[in-house]
Amino acid sequence: MNINSAAATLPTRVLAESLTAWKLAFDRHTPAGMVELFSLDALFQGLSPTLLTGRNEVFDYYDALPPGITASFQVIQGRQLTPHLVSGFAAVHFTYPAGRTVPVQLSLVLRRDGQTWFIVQYHASTLSSAKQSGTVTLASHDEFIY
């Protein structure tokens, strides 16, 4: 869906615009650019088992990633919770320089402060290939993106 089309809802546009900015910073491996998209009090769970809070911890997470990983995404759905809160789901694919791709499910909550939307909650999860057979298991440790 084109985020500028009349069919795109406000939550879908907010999610797509935020994830577009996130993707550009992620692909360039610029953690400072990524953390500007998060609120000061953001709750963050990436693909490591550690729960993180705030921009400094989010910065450290992204800074530890090796350069060369890129991301692509598709907004799955969005909901407007209040005039200043939206939430939604996205499918994300992380591609490593050697070509390996890790599919991820992402849930987000964004809060509007003035005219700017900030990510206040970010949760990423990946499933092993067993999902295709109907058995759901967590990804192995070597599939985590650090």
- Of 87 and 133, the structure prediction assigns the larger pLDDT to 87
Name all domains of the chain by residue range, CATH numbers in brackets. 10-143 (3.10.450.50)
Question: How many CA atoms are closer than 13 Å to the CA of 71, on its beta-carbon side?
Answer: 25
pLDDT the model gives residue 127 = 65
Name the pTM for this structure.
0.82
pLDDT at 134: 42
Per-residue pLDDT tens digits for 52-102: 999 999 999 999 999 999 999 999 999 999 999 999 999 999 999 999 999
Q: pLDDT tens, 14-60? A: 999 999 999 999 999 999 999 999 999 999 999 988 999 999 999 99
Instruction: Please tell me the distance from the alpha carbon of residue 47 to that of residue 117, in angstroms, as a whole number.
Output: 23
Better pLDDT: 139 or 83: 83
**Distance of alpha carbon 38 from the chain centroid:** 11
Q: How many Å is the Cα radius of gyration of the chain?
A: 15
Q: Is a pLDDT exceeding 90 seen at residue 2?
A: no
> pLDDT-derived band of residue 129, with 50, 70 and 90 as boundaries?
low
pLDDT of 5 higher than 80: no
Angle 70-72-74 from CA coordinates, rounded to 5°: 165
> What is the length of the chain?
146
b/e code 3-39 from CB counts within 10 Å (16+ = b): beeeebbebbbbbbebbeebbebbeebebeebbebbb
> Residue with structure tokens 């999860």?
125
The neighbour count for residue 79, using CB atoms within 10 Å, is: 14
In one-letter notation, the amino acid at residue 41 is D
CB of 124 within 8 A of CB of 103?
no
